[in-house]
Amino acid sequence: MGMTITEKILAAHAGRDRVEPGEIVMVDVDVVLANELSAALAIDEFKKIEGATRIRDPEGAVFVPDHFTPNKDITTAKLVQRVREFALEQNARWFEVGRAGIEHCVLPQNGIVGPGQVIIGGDSHTTTYGALGAFSTGVGSTDVAVAWAIGQTWLRVPPTVKVTYHGRLRPWVTGKDLILYTIGQLTVDGATYMAMEFHGDALAELPMAGRFTMANMSIEAGAKNGIFHPDDITREYLGSVGHNRYTEFRSDPDAAYERDVEIDAGTIEPQIAFPAIPENTRPVTEAGTVEIDQVVIGTCTNGWIEDMREAAHVLRGHHVDPRVRCIVVPGSQEVQRQMVKEGLMEIFLDSDCIVSTSTCGPCIGGHMGVLGEYEKCVSTTNRNFVGRMGARTAEIYLANPAVAAASAVSGRIAHPDEVASPVAAG
């Protein structure tokens, strides 16, 4: 019996020929990620470990403050200050405001993550890097501290659900729509502690932005990790960011899967997840009339330059409805720089959007776009739980950037066709 890509990566990092789902293994870790929240707790735990004074692999320890940064108040300023001092004292990799952005965009763009690696992070959406063919998962702060100290972590080998997408994508349909539709089919616990392995001809031309989004949101189906097999699109991206030394793994033809899911991607329309759970999905054409107060475009899920281009294409020549606040959040400083070069910044400003520094603030209801009582928001973020973006009575609707932009212009949930023509293929 063969092994899946996830099993092969874990076996290689455990120094074994093979592993089986359900086994508990100790694996070497290539990259340990922490943001200001998870790092603060991990620092406390690290200091409790007997003999632990230095991070074992400072080059593989990456710190990105992004949740409440730029610091929103004195409390968060002190929090980030403490983490900064620790990271710099340890000679770890430190990425802060002005040189960075949101962690899940920063790591790929700096060539830190790539195929065949084991990556853990103190954030649930660390699953993002599976888009590159890595095993990547979120862990608790104690696990982060232990990995700093010994360079290893323990894992239960997950079984794998294979999700295959057939057909050709319709206009306006992106990776965000594929993963929202899939979560709608599987439910938010349908892949609990499984690897979600993405396949199919419908993904052949899907850009890295869409793949990052799908891997990012695999956790919303309960998955331990989401993963793609590297292909020419992956390799081209890796070359562009200077990540040129890596090992590719592929699932064996006779690998065993816990479940096989077949999806006709050609039938999928742009999706929207209604409150207050990501599985509550439906086509935008079936949304009805839902008037909105705010739109958020970007963050770690859809903050890539491709997402910015898509939103700008819809917004060009239009103005945001005067009743609506539209907040654009590029995933990183690099994305924002490219937006300026391509004239996208001007389009957003001319459309009456505001462009925020790269931050998780609006997504977590921290700052830069907190929702008030009973407000409704269309957001390209990854979660729409009660109270996620502010008041508990507020409602969050998850969508792709084109749907979000069209909704900002219309003042209600809208299909992009109502505002703009699709970009021609190729």
| 36-88 confidence digits (pLDDT tens) | 999 999 999 999 999 999 999 999 999 999 999 899 999 999 999 999 999 99
pLDDT at 423 over 80: no
**Omega within 30 of 0 (cis) for the link into 70:** yes
pLDDT value at residue 424 = 53
**The pLDDT of residue 134 is above 60:** yes
Question: Strands (DSSP E) along 93-203, which ranges?
Answer: 93-94, 118-121, 135-138, 152-156, 160-166, 195-199
Share of the chain above pLDDT 70, in %: 99
| Sole residue written with tokens 């990540």 | 243
H-only helix segments in 205-289:
208-216, 232-240
What would the mean pLDDT of 125-143 be, rounded to a whole number? 98
pLDDT of 390 higher than 90:
yes
The per-residue pLDDT for range 372-383, each reduced to its tens digit, is 999 999 999 999
Helix H or strand E segment including 262: strand 259-264
Q: What is the pLDDT of residue 425?
A: 43
| Span 312-369, pLDDT tens digits | 999 999 999 999 999 999 999 999 999 999 999 999 999 999 999 999 999 999 999 9
181 contacts 271 by C-beta, under 8 angstroms: yes
Collapse the DSSP code of 266 into the 3-class scheme (helix H, G, I; strand E, B; otherwise coil) and give the result.
helix
Q: Rg of the chain's alpha carbons, rounded to an integer? A: 21
pLDDT tens digits for 238-288? Answer: 999 999 999 999 999 999 999 999 999 999 999 999 999 999 999 999 999
pLDDT at residue 53, rounded to an integer: 96
CA distance 350 to 321: 13
Burial of 401 (0-12, 13-18, 19+ CB in 10 A): buried
Give how far Cα 127 sits from Cα of 116, 124, 217, 322, Å. Answer: 14, 7, 8, 37
282-309, pLDDT tens digit by residue? 999 999 999 999 999 999 999 999 999 9
Average confidence (pLDDT) over 395-404: 98
What residue type is 92 in one-letter code? A
Using an 8 Å Cβ cutoff, are 200 and 170 in contact? Answer: no
- Chain centre distance of CA 32: 16
Average predicted confidence (pLDDT) for the chain = 97
Q: Which residue has the tokens 């189906």?
A: 221
E strands present in 308-408: 325-329, 354-355, 376-379, 395-398
Q: Which residues of 103-114 are buried (b: 16+ CB within 10 A; e: fewer)?
A: bbbbbbbbebbb
| pLDDT grade for 206, boundaries at 50, 70 and 90 | very high
Q: What domains are there in the chain, each with its CATH number?
A: 5-263 (3.30.499.10), 272-418 (3.30.499.10)
Angle CA(398)–CA(404)–CA(410) in degrees, nearest 5? 125
Q: Is the pTM of this model over 0.85?
A: yes
Given this model, what pLDDT does residue 1 score?
A: 87
Extract the runs of DSSP E, i.e. beta strands, from 11-166: 24-28, 31-34, 61-63, 93-94, 118-121, 135-138, 152-156, 160-166
Task: Return the number of other C-beta atoms located less than 10 Å from residue 338's C-beta.
Answer: 17
Residue 426 is predicted with a pLDDT of 34
